[in-house]
């Protein structure tokens, strides 16, 4: 059986020694529990911190959205006001006159009593009844 | 032990061991001492802050971040029957100044700039800008959005723009007396704004919690919010076109006759819904304080009373017919003048009309004839009828300050026989215009008198859960047959006054249809105006017309009242043209087809 008798390089040998010595450092006896507790506390603190940060961020986002809502509500009410002003009959009359419209005169009005004539008229979109005689089959 | 030392020795052979530095002991002690001192200082400071000054600092912190911020409700919207907005709340920016942040050298220039933008005197603005006694002063409230934008572009550090709710009346003076106004404290004054102030205003809420410097809530802190409850929305019975027409005609009539004022009311006698109500002078509720208090705080159509004059004769005839004191064929002798209780009572021209039946009493508007009819009816029956027609008591309409009128009732302390006789032609009795319309509505509606109302429905703020107003029968003062008889009489009466309108048009000054195509019932009246010291105003009167159309199955009762016209003291001349124009437009607007048989020669157009 061939045996390599060549010595390992000093750096590799050092690493090996350190690896072998590692458990010695981890042997903390009672201290390991303390460290564990600190770790858990840190973790919990971190969770709380992240959660609080997240809530605060969302809170400011809500606040910003509420401000936006108020601004939009104000804008909407301004538009409603403009619509309401535009519905003023005096304004409509002036606008109609600007467009060249004039009030209807009495002789331009025709009253048609549909119930008495029995003619219910033609529905919008319906085809007019044909006056041509029916075609021969 | 040997193994251990061998193991420890191996690394030393293969790798360089860290060089151990030995610090002098005193240096370590010195560092520890400094740390201890620092820690001690921190502990002391913590103790001071957390224990000694705990209560004080906690209070201070709470004051800074704990706030109760009020949540203001939005005042409800008022609309007409078609949903057009008559009154609404809009947030507008108001301009405030912090004088300490204003560069005093530039203040005069800034005052001039602001003056041009907000429409105030520069001296007034400069006074606010240079006031060093106050931290925060208002300059202008409720700016137009465009003006606010221009002020923002000035980027002046001492100027602040803050939103405030502003009551806006987009239709201006339309139906202003009915709607009322809202004062600077947000309370309604007059009209629906005043009557429904609490309901329209809503209930304030609040948010209690922690807020940062920018007034933003700190969400992670506990908070308690009581939301504001917005005011209710009110839909009125007013029809926009009818309101527009009566206001236009009232304005024209007042200007034409240089009158002091006037009122027009349009009521649907089938339900009691008020379709239009206008009184001159008008006012713009957007700037109500530019007008006298009497103008913006009262609604003369409801709050003021007047002696109805000859329009009251229809009630006189109704009372007698209902009491079976006389019939439609009963004749009374109109001698022009009669003497009762040492007083001379006469017709308007003291002229005699001879034997008259009740129809002719109305036709000629005979005071003496009405007086005779009242004598036949007797005070007990007459005042019973007045009570059933609603005189002497408020109608109960949803408008503030309504007057019930003045009736010297039979059996009461102020009753006297002479007064009873003059009541026959509408003197010595006072009624509000709305009371007159309500009473005429009973004649138009086959004897069923409906209670007038102005609110179609009241809805929650989000327009859900609406409560409509149900029409209420206020009484049945006369039988349907009596109502029909009086309606026929009033058609003749209306046609008798038609020549005032149509005579100049067709040259015919005889009786003709007042509103061509329709049977309209009406009675004119000229009311004397009582003076404070007793007696009547010798110079001026109130001209009025009370009627309805169509005569059978009426859709509208209309009262036109013109106060103190300067060019014509008779109601016929001042009020009948307005009544005719209004009724003509209303009947066409209601799409009631005219009857070609009811058109007199020369009335075709």
B124 domain-assigned:
no
pLDDT (average), residues B107-116:
91
The last residue of a domain, from among B236, B267, B299: B236
| Contact between chains at A17 and B593 (C-beta distance less than 8 A) | no
Indicate the range of A103-107, B152-156, B331-335 predicted with least confidence: A103-107
Identify the CATH number of the domain in which residue B171 sits: 3.90.1310.10
The residues facing B406 across adjacent strands are B430
CATH of the domain at B424: 3.40.710.10
pLDDT digits (tens, 9 = 90+) for A28-85: 666 778 888 999 999 999 999 999 889 888 888 888 898 899 889 888 888 988 898 8
Exposure b/e, B470-489, CB count within 10 A at least 16 = b: eeeebbebbeeebbbbbbeb
Residues in B closer than 8 angstroms to A11, CB to CB, are 15
Q: Is the separation of the CB atoms in B394 and B525 below 8 Å? A: no
Q: Which of B64-73, B117-126, B190-199, B431-440 has the lowest mean pLDDT?
A: B64-73
Is B248 buried (19+), middle (13-18) or exposed (0-12) by CB count in 10 A? middle
How many helices and strands in chain A, by DSSP H and E?
4, 0
Please report which confidence band the pLDDT of residue B414 belongs to, taking 50, 70 and 90 as the band edges: confident
Q: Say whether B85 and A60 touch across the interface (CB within 8 A).
A: no
- Overall domain count for chain B: 2
Q: What is the mean pLDDT of chain B?
A: 90
CB pairs under 8 A between A and B: 82
- Asked whether residue B297 falls in the same domain as residue B393, the answer is yes
At A115 the pLDDT is: 66
Share of chain B above pLDDT 90, in %: 63
Find the closest chain B residue to A55 by CA distance: B220
Domain co-membership, B210 together with B276: no
Domain co-membership, B467 together with B576: yes
- Of all residues in chain B, the one with the smallest CA distance to A88 is B171
Best of A7, A19, A58, A63 to substitute, by most chain B Cβ atoms within 10 angstroms, is A63
Is residue B127's pLDDT more than 50? yes
% of chain A residues with pLDDT over 70: 72
* C-alpha dihedral, A73 to A77 to A80 to A81, nearest 10°: -170
pLDDT tens across B437-484, in order?
999 999 999 999 999 999 999 999 888 889 999 999 999 999 999 999
Question: Does residue B167 form part of some domain?
Answer: yes
Residue B17 forms contact with A (CB below 8 Å)? no
CB-based contact B399:B302 (threshold 8 Å): yes
DSSP B462-497: TS-S-EEPPP-EEE--S-HHHHHHHHHHHHHHHHHH
Whether the CA torsion B562, B565, B571, B573 is positive or negative: it is negative
What is the pLDDT, as a whole number, of residue A48? 92
Statement to judge: residues B81 and B208 lie in one domain: yes
* B65 within a domain of the structure (yes/no): no
For residues A81 and A76, give the distance between their C-alpha atoms in angstroms, rounded to a whole number. 9
Tell me whether residues A88 and B174 touch, CB distance under 8 A. yes
Give the domain-ending residue among B204, B236, B268. Answer: B236
Domain residue limits at B91: 71-99+138-220+229-236
On whether both B415 and B539 belong to a single domain, the answer is yes
Does residue B421 share a domain with residue B530? yes
Cross-chain CB nearest to B90 (options A52, A77, A107): A77
The pLDDT, as a whole number, for residue A2 is 57
Q: How many Å apart are CA B111 and CA B221, to the nearest integer?
A: 44
Q: Are residues B278 and B153 in the same domain?
A: no
B488 shares a domain with B378: yes
* Residues B195 and B249 both lie in one domain: no
Does residue B370 sit in the same domain as residue B439? yes
Quickly list DSSP for B157-209.
TTEEEEEEEEEE-TTTTTTHHHH-EE-TTS-EESHHHHHTHHHHH-B-EEEEE
Tell me if chain A has a CB within 8 Å of the CB of B394: no
DSSP states of B538-558: EEEEEEEEEEEESSSS-SEEE
Q: Are B216 and B247 in the same domain? A: no
Task: Calculate mean pLDDT across residues B250-267.
Answer: 95
Task: Write out the two tokens for B575.
Answer: 């009020």
C-alpha B314/C-alpha A6 separation (Å) is 139
Q: In this structure, is residue B534 part of a structural domain?
A: yes
């Amino acid at each position: 059986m061939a045996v390599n008798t060549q010595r390992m390089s000093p750096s590799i040998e050092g690493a090996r020694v350190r690896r072998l010595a590692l458990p010695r450092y981890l042997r903390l006896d009672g201290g390991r529990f303390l460290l564990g507790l600190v770790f858990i506390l840190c973790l919990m603190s971190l969770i709380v911190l992240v959660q609080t940060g997240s809530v605060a961020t969302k809170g400011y986002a809500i606040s910003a959205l509420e401000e936006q809502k108020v601004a939009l509500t104000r804008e909407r009410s301004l538009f409603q006001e403009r619509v309401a002003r535009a519905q003023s009959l005096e304004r409509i009359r002036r606008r109609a006159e600007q467009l060249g419209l004039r009030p209807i005169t009495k002789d331009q009005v025709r009253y048609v009593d549909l119930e008495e004539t029995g003619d219910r008229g033609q529905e919008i979109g319906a085809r007019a009844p044909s006056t041509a005689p029916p075609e021969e089959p | 032990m040997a193994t251990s030392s061998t193991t420890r020795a191996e690394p030393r052979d293969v790798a360089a061991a860290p060089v151990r530095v030995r610090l002098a002991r005193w240096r370590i002690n010195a560092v520890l001492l400094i740390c201890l001192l620092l820690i001690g200082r921190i502990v002391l400071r913590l103790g001071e802050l957390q224990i000694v000054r705990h209560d004080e600092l906690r209070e201070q912190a709470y004051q800074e971040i704990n706030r109760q911020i009020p949540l203001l409700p939005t005042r409800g919207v008022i609309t007409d029957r078609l949903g057009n907005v008559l009154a609404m709340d809009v947030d507008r920016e108001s301009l405030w100044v912090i004088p300490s942040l204003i560069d005093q050298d530039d203040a005069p220039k800034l005052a001039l700039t602001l003056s041009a933008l907000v429409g105030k005197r520069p001296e007034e603005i400069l006074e606010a800008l240079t006031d060093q006694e106050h931290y925060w002063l208002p300059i202008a409230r409720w700016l137009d959005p465009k003006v606010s934008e221009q002020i923002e572009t000035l980027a002046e550090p001492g100027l602040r723009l803050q939103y405030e709710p502003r009551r806006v009346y987009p239709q201006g003076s339309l139906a202003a007396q009915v709607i009322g106004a809202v004062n600077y404290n947000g309370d309604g004054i007059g009209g629906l704004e005043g009557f429904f102030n609490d309901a329209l205003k809503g209930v304030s809420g609040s948010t209690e919690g922690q807020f940062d410097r920018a007034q933003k809530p700190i969400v992670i802190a506990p908070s308690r919010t009581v939301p504001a409850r917005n005011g209710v929305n009110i839909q009125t019975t007013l029809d926009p076109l009818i309101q527009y027409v009566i206001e236009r005609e009232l304005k024209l009539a007042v200007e034409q006759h240089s009158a002091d004022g006037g009122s027009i009311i349009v009521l649907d006698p089938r339900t009691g819904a008020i379709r239009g109500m206008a009184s001159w002078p008008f006012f713009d509720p957007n700037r109500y304080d530019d007008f006298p208090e009497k103008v913006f705080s009262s609604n003369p159509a409801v709050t003021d009373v007047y002696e109805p004059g000859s329009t009251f004769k229809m009630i006189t005839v109704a009372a007698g017919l209902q009491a079976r004191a006389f019939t439609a064929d009963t004749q009374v002798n109109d001698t022009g003048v009669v003497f009762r209780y040492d007083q001379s009572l006469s017709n308007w021209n003291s002229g005699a009309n001879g034997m008259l039946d009740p129809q002719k009493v109305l036709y000629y508007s005979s005071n003496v004839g009405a007086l005779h009819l009242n004598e036949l009816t007797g005070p007990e029956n007459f005042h019973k009828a007045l009570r059933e027609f609603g005189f002497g008591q408020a109608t109960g309409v949803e408008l503030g300050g309504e007057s019930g009128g003045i009736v010297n009732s039979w059996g009461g302390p102020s009753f006297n026989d002479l007064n009873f006789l003059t009541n026959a032609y509408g003197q010595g009795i006072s009624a509000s215009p709305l009371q007159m319309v309500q009473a005429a509505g009973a004649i138009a509606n086959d004897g069923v008198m409906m209670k007038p109302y102005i609110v179609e429905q009241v809805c929650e703020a989000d327009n859900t859960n609406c409560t409509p107003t149900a029409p209420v029968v206020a009484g049945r003062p006369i039988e349907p047959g009596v109502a029909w008889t009086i309606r026929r009489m009033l058609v003749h009466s209306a046609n008798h006054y038609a020549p005032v309108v149509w005579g100049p048009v067709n040259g015919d000054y005889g009786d003709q249809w007042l509103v061509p195509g329709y049977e309209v019932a009406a009675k004119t009246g000229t009311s004397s105006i009582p003076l404070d010291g007793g007696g009547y105003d010798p110079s001026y009167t109130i001209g009025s017309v009370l009627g309805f159309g169509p005569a059978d199955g009426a859709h509208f009762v209309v009262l036109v009242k013109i106060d103190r016209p300067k060019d014509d003291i008779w109601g016929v001349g001042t009020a009948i043209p307005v009544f005719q124009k209004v009724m003509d437009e209303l009947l066409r607007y209601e799409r009631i087809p005219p009857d070609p048989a009811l058109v007199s020669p020369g009335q075709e157009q």
